[in-house]
Amino acid sequence: MNDVTVTKFKFFWAHQDQEQEAWLRAMAQQGLHLVSVNPFCFWTFRRGAPRDLVYRLDFGHGRTDDGFAQLMEDAGWTLATTCTGWHYWSIPVTNCREPEIFTDGASKVKKFQRLLALLVCSALPAFIMVLTTDKGSLPSRLSLPSLVILSGIYIGLFAMLGYSALRLLLRIRAARAPQQV
C-alpha cells in the first residue's frame, strides 16, 4: 500500500494558513490529495489523478456545529481533515473561480481571533508555571547543563508562540484596514 499514500514533513507557523493553502493546492495539482495531518507537521496524501483543488483553512467552528458543515457541503466544499482546531476544506476550481470561506474583513478577523485565543490559552499554563517557580532554588536542584537546556526550551517555546501571535495580530490589522477608510 506504500505507493498509494505518501507522508511528508513540512513545517508551518500557526499564522501561515495562506502558505498551507497554496502548498496543498500545488500538491493536489501533482495528484497528491490531503488525507490527514498531525500536530507534528507530518502530512499524509493519497496518490490519485492530478486535480486543481482550492484548499481553505478554517479555525474553530467545532465539529458539533452541524449547520456550518451542512452549509459548506451544500456550497460544494469537502472536509479533507481536521487537526488541532484547524479544518482543511477543499473545493474544485471551476470557471477559474477560487472560492473563499470568508469574504469580508470582519469574519476573517474573527477566525484569527479564535486562533489567537487558542495560542494564548495553550501557552498560559506553562507561562504561569515559569512565573511561579522558585527560581532561586533551581541551581541547587538541577545541574547547570540541564538548567541551560530547560531554560532554552522554554525561551524557544515562548519566542515561537510570541512570534506567531505577533504575526496574527498583524493579519488582524490588515483584515480590518479596508473597512476603516
Partner 1 sequence: MDIDFAKLLPLSEATYYVLAALDEPLHGYALMQKVESMSQGNVVIGPGTLYGAFGTLEKQGLIEKVSEEERRKTYALTPKGRLVLAEQVRRLAIMVRNGQFALSTEGKEAAA
Residues near partner 1 (CB under 8 A): 58, 61, 66-72, 74-75, 77, 99-104, 106-107, 110-111, 179
Kindly tell me which of 106 and 166 has the beta carbon lying closer to partner 1.
Answer: 106
Q: Which of 151, 147, 138, 164 is nearest to 15 (CA)?
A: 164
Task: Retrieve residue 93's grid coordinates.
Answer: 476550481
Kindly tell me which of 132 and 180 has the beta carbon lying closer to partner 1.
Answer: 180
Kindly tell me which of 31 and 99 has the beta carbon lying closer to partner 1.
Answer: 99
Kindly tell me which of 153 and 174 has the beta carbon lying closer to partner 1.
Answer: 174
Angle, to 10 degrees, between the axis of helix 144-180 and the axis of helix 105-132?
160
For the chain, how big is the Rg over CA atoms in Å?
Answer: 20
Q: Which of 128, 136, 121, 134 is nearest to 154 (CA)?
A: 128
**16: which residues sit within 8 A by CB, 6+ positions away?**
none
In the bound complex, what is the minimum distance in angstroms from residue 77's beta carbon to partner 1?
A: 7
In the bound complex, what is the minimum distance in angstroms from residue 45's beta carbon to partner 1?
A: 25
Q: Decide: helix, strand or coil at residue 119.
A: helix
In the bound complex, what is the minimum distance in angstroms from residue 71's beta carbon to partner 1?
A: 4
In the bound complex, what is the minimum distance in angstroms from residue 117's beta carbon to partner 1?
A: 16
